[in-house]
Amino acid sequence: DVQLQASGGGLVQSGGSLRLSCAASGFTFSHYGIGWFRQAPGKEREGVSCISGTDDSIYYANSVKGRFSISIDNAANTMYLQMNGLKPDDTGVYYCAARLLCGNYYITSASYWGQGTLVTVSS
């Protein structure tokens, strides 16, 4: 079974940092496009960042460019999202996802989803 386990969320003040982790089992990261989505209260889920499984493409939503950084530890089959300069608008449930299409300017929906981790940024 494919499983994705997200962790690392929490409460942080505006301007602070968090690092989210996503541990995967049942598949190999390097074979799939993988990424992060988030859903703020009352809003639709949006793609935040992704890494392509077929080339070097990396995507960041405009709202997080320059503040967030996605990375993978292939040996640990774990994906990370380093979030710096957090803003109240970054508040939401963050989901890791796999088996998606990722390009430098786009991210598609995914076939596999983790359970989500809550990030709350206070002003």
Q: What is the pLDDT of residues 51-105, one digit of tens each?
A: 998 888 999 999 999 999 999 998 999 999 999 999 999 999 999 999 999 999 9
Q: Say if CB 100 and CB 108 are below 8 A apart.
A: yes
| Average pLDDT score over the chain | 94
Q: Is the confidence at residue 27, as pLDDT, over 90?
A: no
Q: Which residues, 6 or more positions from 40, have their beta carbon under 8 angstroms from its beta carbon?
A: 89, 91, 92
CB atoms within 10 A of CB 110: 23
Q: Say if CB 51 and CB 97 are below 8 A apart.
A: no
